[in-house]
Every structure is written in C-alpha cells, then in structure tokens.
Amino acid sequence: DAMVIQNPRYQVTQFGKPVTLSCSQTLNHNVMYWYQQKSSQAPKLLFHYYDKDFNNEADTPDNFQSRRPNTSFCFLDIRSPGLGDAAMYLCATSRLPLNEQFFGPGTRLTVL
C-alpha cells in the first residue's frame, strides 16, 4: 500500500545533541510537510517542500533544518535540541498544494 513512513516512532535525545527524523513516501507526491505538535496544541507547520522548492515558515526556529534529497525522502534536523523541542513531529505529503494531505504516524521526540 502506498503510504507515508516515519522513523523512528519514538526518539530520545539529550539536550543539545543533534537529532534527525526521517520521512519517506511511496505516493510520489510533490509536496512534503513537517509539523510540530506539542501537547494540547494545534499541529504547527514548520516548513514544506514543493518539489525541490523549500518554504520555511517565518517563525520556525533556525535550530530546525530540513533536507529533501529526492522525491521520496525528507529529513528534519534539529541541530541543538532544547527541552522545549519535545513534541510529536508529523510528516505529511500531498500531490499538489491545497490537495488533501496524507500523514505518517509521527515521531515522538523526548529531550532529556
């Protein structure tokens, strides 16, 4: 089945230790999104790729970077995680902007 896969499902890192979250898709969609969801809050868009074009939200901290080496994969790098970065990170894809999004299961990040 075509799907969106996120690895790992649970990630524990130490304060200040770089961490990378990965997302892959078999849908061949053009757009890939990264969201951060903290407890009892709305999912917040961090950035997205439309093909190779990177679109960063204005309020996304510089600590967060992303790479999309090809259509299928997208990575979220957190260069120096702080305690406030503990959250659920959701990856989603859509064929085009405005189309319905297909979500992965999320990665729950814990920062110690």
Partner 1 sequence: ILNVEQSPQSLHVQEGDSTNFTCSFPSSNFYALHWYRWETAKSPEALFVMTLNGDEKKKGRISATLNTKEGYSYLYIKGSQPEDSATYLCASYSGGYQKVTFGIGTKLQVIP
Nearest to 80 by CA among 95, 99, 96, 61: 61
Binding mask 8-47 toward partner 1 (x if CB under 8 A, else -) reads -------------------------x-x----xxxxxx--
- Nearest-approach distance from CB 87 to partner 1, in angstroms: 14
Determine the Cα–Cα distance for residues 14 and 112; give it in Å rounded to an integer. 5
List the interface residues with partner 1, window 50-79 (CB under 8 A). 50, 55
Using rule CB under 8 A, residue 109 touches partner 1: no
- The dihedral of CA 27, 102, 25, 76: what is its sign? positive
Give the span between the Cα atoms of 84 and 68, in whole angstroms. 25
**Residue 88 lies near partner 1 (rule: CB under 8 A):** no
Measured from the CB of residue 76, what is the shortest distance to partner 1 in angstroms? 17
The position carrying tokens 């990177």 is: 54
Residues binding partner 1 (CB under 8 A) = 4, 33, 35, 40-45, 48, 50, 55, 90, 92, 97-106
